[in-house]
Chains A and B, each alone.
Chain A
Amino acid sequence: MKVVIKKRADKEYMLKKERELKEKYGSIDSLGQKASIEKCSFPALIDDYELWKAIEKGCEIEEEIIFQDSSIFRTLSPSRIEMLDFMSKNSVASIKELAHAVKRDYKNVYFDITALKKQELVELIKKGRENIPVSRIEKIAILFD
């Protein structure tokens, strides 16, 4: 069996990714030079360079996380799935606001967000003093093959 989690990559996500790359490397040319020189020691540079080139050309992004067994369901409890469902349809300004919206205790929601972030199912975007929880998940599928 396989559990396939498909993530959404909209224009906002692409802009965010481009901003992150710019902050990290300055320009695409300097990253290109760095990747050519240090490609053996830091292979992630190559991926970042190719990713940036593709984003500049206006590519479409398909992103998936695939689990070969059902272990992800230790993380994906019913209440966490409901939270992901809520976040996929609504945006919240903070974890506190999310807790209020799903009518759950802040401490438990914070704990759940931390667990989901560990599996890269949720991202926390820092804005001022707040950490904004964002989920890009659009589909979770179980495949029996």
Chain B
Amino acid sequence: MYRLRKKRIYIRKNEIIDSLEIYEGEKRRFYSYTYMVKGKKGWVPSVRWDNFQQQPHIDRYDESGALLEQKNSPEKELEAVEHLVKIFRRNLVAMSLEDF
């Protein structure tokens, strides 16, 4: 049985984490956690963790939402991402996050 869990977490008024998790039974098959900041044209991705095609990685974007870099990263849980975002917020984009 597939179960999809979608969450939008407001960190501040202009900062959110959009989370999408898909479970098959108890096993998490897919996750994406996107830290987004509200810009002039709406929500712009800033940092994103996902495991698309079973390749856990982290993407970093500039202020316009264009990809800056993509690096491998260990599998992440939403709680860990939420914790990181709450501590570092907009500074995340300038940090080396692949070891976190």
Residues of A within 8 A of B32 (CB): 43, 46-47, 50
Contact present for A51 and B34 (CB under 8 Å): no
* Known A-B contacts A60-B1, A62-B5, A68-B9; A51 and B52 likewise in contact (beta carbons under 8 Å): no
- Can you give 17 A-B contacts (C-beta < 8 A)? A40-B59, A41-B66, A41-B67, A43-B50, A54-B2, A54-B22, A58-B2, A59-B22, A61-B4, A61-B6, A62-B6, A63-B6, A65-B7, A66-B10, A68-B9, A68-B86, A71-B13
* Known A-B contacts A61-B4, A65-B10; A50 and B67 likewise in contact (beta carbons under 8 Å): no
- Hey, which bits of chain B sit against chain A, CB under 8 A? 1-13, 18, 20, 22, 30, 32, 34, 45, 48, 50, 52-53, 59, 66-67, 70, 86
Contact present for A57 and B2 (CB under 8 Å): yes
Asked whether A39 is an interface residue with its Cβ less than 8 Å from the other chain, the reply is: yes
Q: Main SS of chain A's interface residues? A: mixed
Asked whether A82 is an interface residue with its Cβ less than 8 Å from the other chain, the reply is: no
- Sorting the interface of chain A by its residue count into under 10, 10 to 19, 20 to 34 or 35 or more gives 20 to 34
Q: In the complex, A118→B36 CA distance in Å?
A: 16
Contact present for B11 and A68 (CB under 8 Å): yes
Contact present for A50 and B10 (CB under 8 Å): no
Residues of A within 8 A of B11 (CB): 68
Asked whether A120 is an interface residue with its Cβ less than 8 Å from the other chain, the reply is: yes
Which residue on A lies nearest to B2, using beta carbons? A59
Q: In the complex, A1→B7 CA distance in Å?
A: 17
Q: In the complex, A71→B2 CA distance in Å?
A: 34
- Shortest CB distance A41–B (Å): 6
Q: In the complex, A124→B32 CA distance in Å?
A: 27
Residues of B within 8 A of A55 (CB): 4
Q: For window 51-86 of chain A, which residues contact chain B by CB distance below 8 Å?
A: 51, 53-55, 57-68, 71-72
